[in-house]
Protein backbone atom coordinates (compact mmCIF):
# COMPACT_ATOMS: atom_id res chain seq x y z
CA UNK A 1 0.00 0.00 0.00
CA UNK A 2 1.43 3.43 -0.92
CA UNK A 3 2.62 5.66 1.90
CA UNK A 4 0.99 9.09 1.79
CA UNK A 5 2.51 12.47 2.59
CA UNK A 6 0.35 15.51 3.32
CA UNK A 7 1.48 18.49 1.25
CA UNK A 8 1.66 21.41 3.68
CA UNK A 9 1.89 24.03 0.95
CA UNK A 10 -1.64 23.19 -0.25
CA UNK A 11 -3.59 21.39 2.46
CA UNK A 12 -5.10 23.34 5.38
CA UNK A 13 -4.75 26.69 3.56
CA UNK A 14 -6.73 28.43 6.29
CA UNK A 15 -3.98 27.72 8.83
CA UNK A 16 -0.61 29.32 9.34
CA UNK A 17 1.98 27.11 7.67
CA UNK A 18 3.55 26.13 11.00
CA UNK A 19 0.16 25.03 12.35
CA UNK A 20 -0.31 22.68 9.40
CA UNK A 21 2.19 20.22 10.88
CA UNK A 22 -0.09 19.69 13.86
CA UNK A 23 -3.12 19.42 11.59
CA UNK A 24 -1.40 16.73 9.51
CA UNK A 25 -0.51 14.71 12.59
CA UNK A 26 -4.03 15.04 13.98
CA UNK A 27 -5.39 13.82 10.62
CA UNK A 28 -3.33 10.65 10.98
CA UNK A 29 -0.30 11.39 8.78
CA UNK A 30 3.26 10.53 9.71
CA UNK A 31 4.77 11.96 6.51
CA UNK A 32 4.60 15.49 5.10
CA UNK A 33 6.09 17.38 2.18
CA UNK A 34 6.35 21.10 1.41
CA UNK A 35 7.37 23.19 -1.58
CA UNK A 36 9.90 25.64 -0.17
CA UNK A 37 11.53 25.99 3.23
CA UNK A 38 14.17 28.61 2.42
CA UNK A 39 11.71 31.41 3.28
CA UNK A 40 10.59 29.78 6.55
CA UNK A 41 11.95 29.55 10.09
CA UNK A 42 13.89 26.29 10.10
CA UNK A 43 13.99 26.11 13.89
CA UNK A 44 10.19 26.22 14.01
CA UNK A 45 9.91 23.57 11.31
CA UNK A 46 12.37 21.35 13.15
CA UNK A 47 10.37 21.80 16.34
CA UNK A 48 7.08 20.96 14.63
CA UNK A 49 8.49 17.82 13.03
CA UNK A 50 9.85 16.59 16.35
CA UNK A 51 6.82 17.55 18.41
CA UNK A 52 4.36 15.82 16.10
CA UNK A 53 6.57 12.85 15.15
CA UNK A 54 6.52 13.70 11.45
CA UNK A 55 8.94 12.87 8.66
CA UNK A 56 9.52 15.59 6.06
CA UNK A 57 10.01 13.48 2.95
CA UNK A 58 10.57 16.23 0.37
CA UNK A 59 11.06 19.93 -0.30
CA UNK A 60 12.27 22.08 -3.20
CA UNK A 61 15.49 24.12 -3.24
CA UNK A 62 15.12 27.84 -3.91
CA UNK A 63 13.88 28.29 -7.53
CA UNK A 64 15.29 31.73 -8.29
CA UNK A 65 13.14 34.85 -8.29
CA UNK A 66 9.63 33.40 -8.04
CA UNK A 67 7.92 36.80 -8.06
CA UNK A 68 9.70 37.65 -11.32
CA UNK A 69 8.43 34.43 -12.89
CA UNK A 70 11.44 32.18 -12.42
CA UNK A 71 10.59 28.52 -11.88
CA UNK A 72 14.04 27.04 -11.38
CA UNK A 73 17.59 27.77 -12.47
CA UNK A 74 19.00 24.62 -14.03
CA UNK A 75 18.02 25.18 -17.67
CA UNK A 76 19.53 28.61 -18.27
CA UNK A 77 23.24 29.13 -19.03
CA UNK A 78 24.86 31.66 -16.75
CA UNK A 79 22.99 30.49 -13.64
CA UNK A 80 25.16 27.46 -12.94
CA UNK A 81 26.85 28.87 -9.83
CA UNK A 82 23.55 30.02 -8.40
CA UNK A 83 21.97 26.62 -9.00
CA UNK A 84 24.81 24.86 -7.20
CA UNK A 85 24.68 27.37 -4.34
CA UNK A 86 20.93 26.93 -3.80
CA UNK A 87 21.42 23.17 -3.89
CA UNK A 88 24.21 23.31 -1.31
CA UNK A 89 21.99 25.40 0.97
CA UNK A 90 19.13 22.95 0.48
CA UNK A 91 21.39 20.02 1.32
CA UNK A 92 22.41 21.69 4.57
CA UNK A 93 18.74 22.14 5.41
CA UNK A 94 17.95 18.57 4.39
CA UNK A 95 20.62 17.27 6.75
CA UNK A 96 19.21 19.36 9.58
CA UNK A 97 15.61 18.25 9.00
CA UNK A 98 16.31 14.65 8.07
CA UNK A 99 15.08 15.00 4.48
CA UNK A 100 16.29 12.51 1.87
CA UNK A 101 14.73 13.94 -1.33
CA UNK A 102 15.04 17.33 -3.01
CA UNK A 103 12.92 18.28 -6.01
CA UNK A 104 14.92 20.84 -7.99
CA UNK A 105 12.69 22.83 -10.35
CA UNK A 106 14.54 22.98 -13.66
CA UNK A 107 13.12 26.20 -15.03
CA UNK A 108 11.77 28.09 -18.02
CA UNK A 109 14.36 28.74 -20.74
CA UNK A 110 14.99 32.36 -21.63
CA UNK A 111 13.86 33.26 -25.17
CA UNK A 112 17.38 33.03 -26.55
CA UNK A 113 17.98 29.56 -25.05
CA UNK A 114 17.02 26.76 -27.44
CA UNK A 115 15.37 23.55 -26.18
CA UNK A 116 18.56 21.67 -27.03
CA UNK A 117 20.68 24.09 -25.03
CA UNK A 118 18.23 24.03 -22.11
CA UNK A 119 18.29 20.24 -22.04
CA UNK A 120 22.08 20.09 -22.12
CA UNK A 121 22.31 22.71 -19.37
CA UNK A 122 20.00 20.75 -17.06
CA UNK A 123 21.96 17.55 -17.59
CA UNK A 124 25.25 19.36 -16.94
CA UNK A 125 23.96 21.02 -13.77
CA UNK A 126 22.62 17.77 -12.39
CA UNK A 127 25.84 15.92 -13.22
CA UNK A 128 27.79 18.57 -11.34
CA UNK A 129 25.43 18.12 -8.40
CA UNK A 130 25.90 14.35 -8.17
CA UNK A 131 28.95 14.34 -5.82
CA UNK A 132 27.16 16.69 -3.42
CA UNK A 133 23.89 14.78 -3.23
CA UNK A 134 25.60 11.39 -3.17
CA UNK A 135 27.80 12.47 -0.27
CA UNK A 136 24.73 13.74 1.61
CA UNK A 137 22.75 10.56 0.96
CA UNK A 138 20.03 12.58 -0.78
CA UNK A 139 18.11 11.90 -3.98
CA UNK A 140 17.87 14.85 -6.40
CA UNK A 141 14.63 14.73 -8.36
CA UNK A 142 13.47 15.96 -11.78
CA UNK A 143 9.72 16.66 -11.92
CA UNK A 144 7.41 16.95 -14.92
CA UNK A 145 5.38 20.20 -14.78
CA UNK A 146 2.72 21.14 -17.31
CA UNK A 147 2.98 24.28 -19.44
CA UNK A 148 -0.52 25.53 -18.61
CA UNK A 149 0.47 26.16 -15.00
CA UNK A 150 4.08 27.05 -15.85
CA UNK A 151 4.10 28.41 -19.44
CA UNK A 152 7.35 27.57 -21.19
CA UNK A 153 8.55 25.05 -18.61
CA UNK A 154 11.00 22.78 -20.39
CA UNK A 155 10.48 19.51 -18.47
CA UNK A 156 6.78 19.28 -19.25
CA UNK A 157 6.48 15.48 -19.53
CA UNK A 158 7.58 12.42 -17.61
CA UNK A 159 9.34 11.27 -20.79
CA UNK A 160 11.53 14.37 -20.80
CA UNK A 161 12.27 14.06 -17.08
CA UNK A 162 13.20 10.42 -17.57
CA UNK A 163 15.44 11.27 -20.52
CA UNK A 164 17.36 13.76 -18.38
CA UNK A 165 17.72 11.27 -15.55
CA UNK A 166 18.94 8.56 -17.90
CA UNK A 167 21.53 10.95 -19.38
CA UNK A 168 22.79 11.97 -15.94
CA UNK A 169 23.04 8.22 -15.30
CA UNK A 170 23.50 8.14 -11.54
CA UNK A 171 21.31 6.55 -8.84
CA UNK A 172 21.27 9.79 -6.84
CA UNK A 173 19.22 11.51 -9.58
CA UNK A 174 15.67 10.25 -10.06
CA UNK A 175 12.22 11.19 -11.35
CA UNK A 176 9.39 12.79 -9.41
CA UNK A 177 6.27 11.66 -11.26
CA UNK A 178 3.42 14.12 -10.77
CA UNK A 179 0.19 12.49 -11.96
CA UNK A 180 -1.63 15.85 -12.02
CA UNK A 181 0.86 17.41 -14.41
CA UNK A 182 0.66 14.31 -16.63
CA UNK A 183 -3.11 14.69 -16.74
CA UNK A 184 -2.87 18.39 -17.52
CA UNK A 185 -1.05 17.68 -20.79
CA UNK A 186 -3.56 15.00 -21.73
CA UNK A 187 -1.15 12.10 -21.21
CA UNK A 188 -1.61 8.79 -19.39
CA UNK A 189 -0.05 8.69 -15.92
CA UNK A 190 -0.60 4.95 -15.60
CA UNK A 191 1.34 4.31 -18.81
CA UNK A 192 4.09 6.73 -17.75
CA UNK A 193 4.40 4.91 -14.44
CA UNK A 194 4.75 1.52 -16.09
CA UNK A 195 7.29 2.87 -18.59
CA UNK A 196 9.53 4.67 -16.11
CA UNK A 197 8.95 2.92 -12.78
CA UNK A 198 12.62 2.06 -12.42
CA UNK A 199 13.44 5.78 -12.21
CA UNK A 200 10.56 6.98 -10.01
CA UNK A 201 11.56 8.06 -6.50
CA UNK A 202 8.52 10.16 -5.55
CA UNK A 203 4.92 10.56 -6.74
CA UNK A 204 2.34 13.32 -6.35
CA UNK A 205 -1.37 13.32 -7.15
CA UNK A 206 -4.28 15.70 -7.80
CA UNK A 207 -7.34 15.52 -9.99
CA UNK A 208 -7.82 17.28 -13.33
CA UNK A 209 -9.24 19.83 -13.87
CA UNK A 210 -9.04 21.99 -10.78
CA UNK A 211 -6.12 20.38 -8.94
CA UNK A 212 -8.45 19.23 -6.20
CA UNK A 213 -8.75 15.94 -4.31
CA UNK A 214 -9.31 12.62 -6.13
CA UNK A 215 -12.88 12.21 -7.31
CA UNK A 216 -13.43 15.85 -8.21
CA UNK A 217 -12.21 15.51 -11.79
CA UNK A 218 -11.65 13.02 -14.56
CA UNK A 219 -8.38 11.28 -13.66
CA UNK A 220 -8.27 7.54 -12.84
CA UNK A 221 -6.43 8.20 -9.61
CA UNK A 222 -7.66 5.14 -7.72
CA UNK A 223 -6.44 2.95 -10.57
CA UNK A 224 -3.13 4.81 -10.62
CA UNK A 225 -2.69 4.20 -6.90
CA UNK A 226 -3.56 0.53 -7.35
CA UNK A 227 -0.89 0.35 -10.05
CA UNK A 228 1.68 1.75 -7.61
CA UNK A 229 0.80 -1.01 -5.20
CA UNK A 230 0.78 -3.74 -7.82
CA UNK A 231 4.12 -2.63 -9.26
CA UNK A 232 5.81 -2.60 -5.87
CA UNK A 233 6.43 1.15 -5.59
CA UNK A 234 8.11 1.80 -2.24
CA UNK A 235 8.13 5.60 -2.09
CA UNK A 236 5.69 8.21 -0.85
CA UNK A 237 2.64 9.68 -2.59
CA UNK A 238 2.37 13.40 -1.99
CA UNK A 239 -1.15 14.81 -1.70
CA UNK A 240 -0.32 17.98 -3.59
CA UNK A 241 -3.82 19.25 -4.21
CA UNK A 242 -5.96 22.23 -3.29
CA UNK A 243 -8.93 21.15 -1.18
CA UNK A 244 -12.24 21.91 -2.89
CA UNK A 245 -13.69 22.61 0.55
CA UNK A 246 -12.52 21.98 4.13
CA UNK A 247 -9.34 19.91 4.14
CA UNK A 248 -10.93 17.28 6.38
CA UNK A 249 -13.60 16.70 3.74
CA UNK A 250 -10.99 16.67 0.99
CA UNK A 251 -9.22 13.81 2.78
CA UNK A 252 -12.29 11.61 3.22
CA UNK A 253 -11.42 9.55 0.12
CA UNK A 254 -8.37 8.23 1.99
CA UNK A 255 -9.20 6.15 5.10
CA UNK A 256 -7.36 7.29 8.19
CA UNK A 257 -5.89 3.80 8.58
CA UNK A 258 -4.08 4.24 5.25
CA UNK A 259 -2.50 7.59 6.00
Question: What are the tens digits of pLDDT across the range 82-94?
Answer: 999 999 999 999 9
Supply the pTM of this predicted model. 0.97
pLDDT given at position 150: 98
List of domains in the chain: 3-258 (3.20.20.150)
Instruction: Point out the residues that are catalytic.
Output: 143, 240
156-195 as b/e, with b when 16 or more CB fall inside 10 Å?
A: bbbebbbbbbeebeeebbbbbbbbbbbbbeebebbebbee
Q: Work out whether the CA dihedral 252, 149, 184, 238 comes out positive or negative.
A: negative
| CB atoms closer than 10 angstroms to residue 244 | 16
Q: Is the pLDDT of residue 66 over 80?
A: yes
Helix, strand, coil share (%) of the chain residues, nearest 5: 40, 15, 45
Amino acid sequence: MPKYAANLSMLWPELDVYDRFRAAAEAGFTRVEILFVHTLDLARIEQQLQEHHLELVLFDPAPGDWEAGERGLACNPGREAEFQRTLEEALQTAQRLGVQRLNALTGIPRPEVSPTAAHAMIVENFRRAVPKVESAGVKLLVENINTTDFPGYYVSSVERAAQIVREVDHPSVRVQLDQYHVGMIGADARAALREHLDLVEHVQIADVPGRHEPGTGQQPIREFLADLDALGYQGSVGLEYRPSGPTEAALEWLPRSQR
